[in-house]
C-alpha cells in the first residue's frame, strides 16, 4: 500500500516548480523569458508570498461576524464576500478544524480570503477592481485507493463492522444502502460474513477523509445480499435493480415554468462579468411545496443574506441538492428525508427578483444542469448499462474476495 502512496506523491511534485518564478527580478521582461507564463499567474504567485493578516482554525462558537471583526474587516466588505459566496455557499459550511485566512492589500482593504476545508478543497475569494469579490471553488481530485474490509458477525452488525475497521459514518452508509432489502437485526447470525470495498481519497499521500462505498456483500445464513455502485453514482443489487427509489428530476409535485436555465457562463447584465447561474429557476408562487427528489440527509437549514432561506440535502449517490429563496422550512438539520417528502415551501427571500425556486444539483461537489444530468429515473438498469454494471460487479467481487 505504501508503494502506491509514494507514486501518488511523486506525481504531484511538479507543482513546486512554479516557485522558481518568484526569484526572477521584476525588471526583467518576463513574457520573453517565460512565454508560457501569463501576467496574471505571476501576480497571483506574488500575492501568496504576502503573509495573511489573520489566520485561524475554526473553533466551536466562532461566527462569521466575529471572525471578520477579529481580522479587522468591516461589515460592508463582509457583505460583499457573502454576495460572492451565493455561488458556492461555502462560508456556512465552515466546521471546527477548518482554517480561514485573510490577506489585505496596500490600501489596507481585504484582498483575498481563503477557506481551507481539507487538502482536497479550498474556497478562495479575491477582490475585483470595483470592490466586489469573485469566488473560486478549488477541488483537487488527488488519488483514490481501494480498501478492502472483510469480517465475521459476532454481536451486532455495527460492532462487527467496527471491529473489522469501518467507522460509524461508513457503517451508517452501508446500513442505509441495504436497509430496504435486509433486516440487519433479524437476518444475521454469528459466523455470517461480510465484505466491503471502500474507495479513499489521498492528496500527496495524506487521507482527506473523503471515502465512498463501492461494494458490499453480506453472506447471511439464509441468503446473500449485495450492493454495488454503478458509474452513474447509484447503487444496485447484483441483478442491476436499484436499491433506492429512483431519483426525480424536478423537486416539485407538478410542472412550473422554467424561468432561468443553468448557465455556468452567464454574464452579469450590468458589469458584463461572468456570474455563473449554478441552478435552475422555476416560477413557483410563494408557498409551493418543494419535495426531496431522492432519499437523503438534510445537512443545512439556514437563512442567508443573499440565498435567503435555503436547504441542502446530501444523497447517497454523490449527489447534493440545494434549494434557495424559500419561505418556510419543513425539515431540520440532520433529518433523514425520503423521496417525495415535502422539505420546504418556495418563497422570495434573500436577493431574489421575484417568487421562484432556485434548484441546484451537484455531483461530486460540482454543480451540473439537473435538466441534462444522467439521473437514474428507472428502477432497473437498462440492458446496455446492465452489461457494463455486471463487469464492474465481477471485478469488484474479485477484489473483495481478498479481504
Interacting residues with Zn ion (CB under 5 A): 279, 281, 358
All three cell numbers of 203, joined, read 492528496
Closer to Zn ion by Cβ: residue 149 or 283: 283
HSE-up (13 A, CA, CB side) for residue 171: 16
What Cα–Cα distance (Å) separates residue 192 from each residue in 56, 104, 173, 222, 310? 48, 60, 20, 10, 44
The alpha-helical segments, DSSP class H, found in 121-167 are: 157-164
Closer to Zn ion by Cβ: residue 67 or 324: 324
Least distance CB 262 / Zn ion (angstroms): 9
Closer to Zn ion by Cβ: residue 55 or 259: 259
Instruction: Give yes or no for a contact between 325 and 310, defined as CB atoms under 8 angstroms apart.
Output: yes
Instruction: State the Rg of the chain over Cα.
Output: 24
Closer to Zn ion by Cβ: residue 358 or 362: 358
The strand ranges marked E within 140-261 are 143-152, 193-203, 206-219, 224-229, 235-236, 258-260
Among all chains, which residue has been given the C-alpha cell 483575498? 112
Residue 397 gets the label, from left (phi > 0), alpha (psi -120 to 50) or beta, of: alpha
Closer to Zn ion by Cβ: residue 192 or 281: 281
Least distance CB 357 / Zn ion (angstroms): 8
Least distance CB 375 / Zn ion (angstroms): 19
Least distance CB 362 / Zn ion (angstroms): 14
Least distance CB 374 / Zn ion (angstroms): 22
Residue 277 gets the label, from left (phi > 0), alpha (psi -120 to 50) or beta, of: beta
Least distance CB 360 / Zn ion (angstroms): 8
Least distance CB 288 / Zn ion (angstroms): 15
Closer to Zn ion by Cβ: residue 12 or 351: 351
All three cell numbers of 303, joined, read 437563512
Least distance CB 277 / Zn ion (angstroms): 6
All three cell numbers of 120, joined, read 482536497
Closer to Zn ion by Cβ: residue 279 or 293: 279
Instruction: Give yes or no for a contact between 195 and 401, defined as CB atoms under 8 angstroms apart.
Output: yes
Closer to Zn ion by Cβ: residue 276 or 289: 276
Closer to Zn ion by Cβ: residue 38 or 271: 271
Closer to Zn ion by Cβ: residue 279 or 294: 279
Closest CA to 156 of 181, 184, 193, 182: 184
Longest Cα–Cα distance of the chain, Å, equals 78
- Residue 75 has phi, psi (to 5 degrees) of -60, -40
Rounded to the nearest 10°, the torsion over CA 238, 240, 243, 247 is 160
Least distance CB 290 / Zn ion (angstroms): 14
Pairwise CA distance, residues 150 & 165, whole Å: 9
Least distance CB 370 / Zn ion (angstroms): 12
Instruction: Give yes or no for a contact between 190 and 154, defined as CB atoms under 8 angstroms apart.
Output: yes
Instruction: Give yes or no for a contact between 212 and 174, defined as CB atoms under 8 angstroms apart.
Output: no
Amino acid at each position: 500500500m505504501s508503494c502506491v502512496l509514494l507514486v501518488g506523491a511523486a506525481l504531484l511534485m511538479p507543482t513546486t516548480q512554479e516557485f522558481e518564478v518568484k526569484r526572477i527580478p521584476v525588471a526583467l521582461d518576463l513574457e520573453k523569458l517565460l512565454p508560457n507564463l501569463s501576467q496574471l499567474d505571476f501576480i497571483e504567485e506574488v500575492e501568496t508570498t504576502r503573509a495573511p493578516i489573520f489566520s485561524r482554525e475554526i473553533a466551536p462558537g466562532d461566527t462569521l461576524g466575529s471572525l471578520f471583526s477579529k481580522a479587522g474587516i468591516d461589515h460592508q466588505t463582509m457583505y460583499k464576500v457573502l454576495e460572492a459566496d451565493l455561488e458556492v455557499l461555502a462560508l456556512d459550511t465552515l466546521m471546527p478544524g477548518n482554517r480561514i485566512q485573510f490577506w489585505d492589500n496596500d490600501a489596507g482593504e481585504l484582498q483575498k480570503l481563503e477557506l481551507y476545508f481539507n487538502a482536497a478543497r479550498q474556497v478562495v475569494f479575491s477582490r475585483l477592481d470595483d470592490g466586489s469579490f469573485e469566488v473560486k471553488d478549488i477541488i483537487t481530485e488527488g488519488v483514490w485507493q481501494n480498501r478492502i474490509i472483510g469480517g465475521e458477525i459476532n454481536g451486532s452488525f455495527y460492532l462487527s463492522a467496527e471491529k473489522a475497521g469501518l467507522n460509524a459514518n461508513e457503517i451508517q452508509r452501508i446500513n442505509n444502502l441495504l436497509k430496504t432489502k435486509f433486516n440487519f437485526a433479524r437476518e444475521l447470525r454469528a459466523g455470517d460474513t461480510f465484505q466491503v470495498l471502500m474507495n479513499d481519497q489521498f492528496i500527496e499521500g495524506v487521507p482527506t477523509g473523503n471515502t465512498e462505498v463501492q461494494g458490499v456483500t453480506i453472506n447471511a445464513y439464509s441468503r446473500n445480499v449485495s450492493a454495488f455502485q454503478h458509474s452513474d453514482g447509484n447503487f444496485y443489487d447484483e441483478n442491476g435493480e436499484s436499491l433506492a427509489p429512483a431519483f426525480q428530476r424536478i423537486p416539485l409535485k407538478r410542472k412550473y415554468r422554467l424561468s432561468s436555465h443553468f448557465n455556468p457562463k452567464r454574464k452579469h447584465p450590468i458589469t458584463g462579468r461572468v456570474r455563473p447561474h449554478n441552478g435552475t429557476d422555476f416560477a413557483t408562487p410563494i408557498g409551493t411545496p418543494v419535495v426531496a427528489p431522492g432519499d437523503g440527509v438534510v445537512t443545512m437549514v439556514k437563512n442567508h443574506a443573499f440565498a435567503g432561506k435555503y436547504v441542502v440535502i446530501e444523497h447517497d449517490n454523490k449527489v447534493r441538492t440545494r434549494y434557495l429563496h424559500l419561505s418556510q422550512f419543513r425539515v431540520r438539520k440532520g433529518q433523514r428525508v425520503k423521496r417525495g417528502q415535502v422539505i420546504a415551501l418556495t418563497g422570495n427571500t434573500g436577493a431574489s427578483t421575484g417568487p421562484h425556486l432556485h434548484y441546484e444539483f451537484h455531483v461530486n461537489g460540482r454543480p451540473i444542469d439537473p435538466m441534462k444530468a444522467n439521473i437514474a429515473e428507472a428502477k432497473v438498469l437498462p440492458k446496455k448499462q446492465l452489461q457494463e454494471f455486471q463487469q464492474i460487479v465481477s471485478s469488484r467481487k474479485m477484489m473483495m474476495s481478498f479481504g
